[in-house]
Amino acid sequence: MCNDILKLLKIKDNNIKITKVEEDVVIRGKKSIVIFGTLSYKPMTCPHCYHTNPNRIHKHGKRLS
């Protein structure tokens, strides 16, 4: 996938890879563009609570903008 999407969203993390883009998806009655991505590494600590157990890392799967 092209890195232009990352530039448009001002994402500077090189470890995020865009995997799929879906256009014209209706979410809560509004036409939206949905962008799917993956993180290319497994974090060792939670960025929010700094917990080091990988099984307890809090996942944020969605971000509304």
Q: For the residues 41-62, what does the mean pLDDT come to?
A: 63
64 occurs within a structural domain: no
- Position 26 scores a pLDDT of 93
25 occurs within a structural domain: yes
Q: Is residue 58 over pLDDT 60? A: no
Q: Is residue 62 over pLDDT 60? A: no
Q: Which domain holds residue 49?
A: 4-56
What is the count of structural domains for the chain?
Answer: 1
Cα separation, 65 vs 63, whole angstroms: 6
Q: Is residue 57 over pLDDT 60? A: no
15 occurs within a structural domain: yes
61 occurs within a structural domain: no
Smallest Cα–Cα separation from 8: which of 47, 30, 18? 18
Q: For residue range 2-48, what is the model confidence (pLDDT) as tens digits?
A: 678 888 888 887 888 888 889 999 999 999 989 888 878 777 776 66
65 occurs within a structural domain: no
Q: What are phi and psi of 60, to 5 degrees?
A: -115, 100
63 occurs within a structural domain: no
Residue 42's Cα: distance from chain center in Å? 13
